[in-house]
Amino acid sequence: MKHARVLHNDVELDVTVNDQGDLVTAEGTVISESEVTWLSPIKKPGTIFALGLNYADHAAELAFEPPKEPLVFLKGANTLTGHKQNSYRPDNIEFQHYECELVAVIGKEGKNISREDAMDYIAGYTVCNDFAIRDYLENYYRPNLRVKSRDSLCPIGPWLIDKEDVGDISDLRLTTHVNGELTQEGTTKDIIFDVPFLVEYLSKIMTLKPGDMIATGTPKGLKDMQPGDTVVCEIEKVGALTTYIVSEQEFYGDKY
Amino acid sequence: MSTNPIVTGKLVCVALNDQQQLDKLDATFNEAPYKAAPTQPVLYFKPHNTWNTDGATIAWNEEGLVVGASLTVVFGKECCRTSAEEALSYVEGYTLTHDFSLPEKSYYRPDIKGKCQDGTAPVGAVVVPASDVADPQALTVVTQVNGETVGELPVSQLHRGVAELISIISNIMTLQPGDAIAVGFPGDRHPVKQGDKVTSSIAGVTELTNQVEA
């Protein structure tokens, strides 16, 4: 089952998405996608973990040795942005790139979870676009919050799909299209630290709770984004997430 | 692990903001892996599993624990892209944060293991309304371990002050009611032992006490 959250006539709704792509409310009312604004599918977002350099080919692209230990950083919930929504490119920068990532969403609280039991703690999956502003990188807590945790820097969705509906996640194809052109392609089989490993690793440090998310990193294929671009991050069996790039001024409007 | 009624959104902490520490590390900043001094505030999150309260016992960690205390700004309304001049008008009140961490060896990578252990960010005891604090820059955070003073950090000693930090951070991320910023910790985090009682205070504002698990 695909679980989404949408805004419909100014009301937040928890819906499921049927095979025709229509949205179905808890009462069984069918709503067309064209009538809603998509929200982040995670109702109560917890900690957002993201992995750096977790695909061997991407690490090489950035001229890094693949890490021996996971490179984990956190993103704030202010970054979460629904499907078909805007993300902004800051003024006066040279390089903002997308990162198509498989996100595992925690469904059950746990600490010291073994690799063998890890999948019991996963509710399902979604897609995120873990945007980065490379201009802002500094060598302190790198990648620093200014690079990764700005408003709108984590489009996510369109939905959360139950893990049973995806099954094996060890070889899912990932693609990113910018304005219809294929710019990034990879498979989750190139992940260095996989989901069971990460659940074990993180839960040794801290209690994982429902709503926590693990964005598992991105394969190679970075490309600069400009206002007006449309980016679609897609993961086989999970979903395709569309984001519109706008200028800082357009994004903030009166607050600019 | 207990929830905290003060922080319900995000807890943003500012590292490397003690001017004395920055002066001491100045030469190091030009070496690998840093290669250059930071040009922006060095920020980290204490995520929700770390939030804790006044009086809470902090779990011992076999790798050791260090503590620092920080004046903490709590937001009562949305704060988006504010200027330093207007920043303080978004502050609902002031409180204290204890950041218990594993001993920090490097600032190069995000320190999830060191900073995100359960229950290691008590915030409290109370939030003093901003209207009762004439000038946050005039406050001093004093930390005692077992009654002995181990740290004293005047807010005026911070490299970036409260208003400037709110302005910079609110230009990165919109701050919401229930969000908080711990504006700066003493450069030398203090090592604690099992059973130690840690009390930090800001005269006339609030006091925060935690005990390390025996």
Instruction: Provide the residue ranges of all domains of chain A, joining segments of one domain with +.
Output: 1-39, 42-255
Q: What percent of chain B has pLDDT over 70?
A: 99
Q: What is the mean pLDDT of residues A239-249?
A: 97
Q: Which chain A residues are within 8 Å of B80, Cβ to Cβ?
A: 252, 255
Q: In this predicted structure, what is the pLDDT of residue A84?
A: 98
In chain B the domains, ranked by start, together with CATH numbers, are 11-212 (3.90.850.10)
CB-based contact, A79 to chain B, within 8 Å: yes
ipTM for the predicted complex: 0.94
Q: Which chain A residues are within 8 Å of B105, Cβ to Cβ?
A: none
Q: In this predicted structure, what is the pLDDT of residue A62?
A: 73
Q: Write b or e for each residue in B117-154: b if 16 or more Cβ atoms lie within 10 A of its Cβ, otherwise e.
A: bbbbbbbbbebbebeebeebbebebbbbbeeeebbebe
Q: What is the mean pLDDT of residues A204-233?
A: 96
* A 12-71: CB under 8 A from B: 46-47, 49, 71
Q: In this predicted structure, what is the pLDDT of residue B1?
A: 43
Instruction: Report the C-alpha dihedral over residues A135, A140, A142, A143, rounded to 10 degrees.
Output: -50
| A84 vs A62: CA distance, rounded Å | 29
Q: Is pLDDT of A59 > 80?
A: no
Quick check: helix, strand or coil at residue B7? coil
pLDDT-derived band at A249, boundaries 50, 70, 90:
very high
Q: What is the mean pLDDT of residues B98-117?
A: 95
Q: Which chain A residues are within 8 Å of B113, Cβ to Cβ?
A: 205
Q: Which chain B residues are within 8 Å of A54, Cβ to Cβ?
A: none
Asked if B10's CB is within 8 angstroms of A76's CB, the reply is yes
Beta A37-39 vs A2-8: how paired, if at all? antiparallel
Q: Is A12 exposed, middle or buried (0-12, 13-18, 19+ CB in 10 A)?
A: exposed
pLDDT-derived band at A178, boundaries 50, 70, 90:
very high
| A164 vs A159: CA distance, rounded Å | 15
Asked if A206's CB is within 8 angstroms of B50's CB, the reply is yes
pLDDT-derived band at A61, boundaries 50, 70, 90:
confident
Nearest to A74 among B16, B107, B110 (CB): B110
The residues, ordered by sequence, that sit 6+ positions from A66 with a Cβ below 8 Å of its Cβ are: A53, A56, A59, A60, A192
Backbone φ/ψ region at A26: left (φ over 0), alpha (ψ -120 to 50), beta? alpha
pLDDT-derived band at B115, boundaries 50, 70, 90:
very high
* A 119-138: CB under 8 A from B: 136, 138
Asked if A143's CB is within 8 angstroms of B1's CB, the reply is no
Q: What is the mean pLDDT of residues B76-97?
A: 97
Q: Is pLDDT of A150 > 50?
A: yes
Intrachain domains A1-39 and A42-255 with the same fold: no
- Count of beta carbons in the 10 Å neighbourhood of residue A226: 11
Q: In terms of CATH architecture, what is A42-255?
A: Alpha-Beta Complex (3.90)
Domain A1-39 has CATH 2.30.30.370: yes
Beta bridge partners of B191: B66
Name the residue among B126, B171, B175, B180 with its Cα closest to residue B12: B180
Enter the DSSP assignment of B158: B
* A 193-222: CB under 8 A from B: 202, 205-209
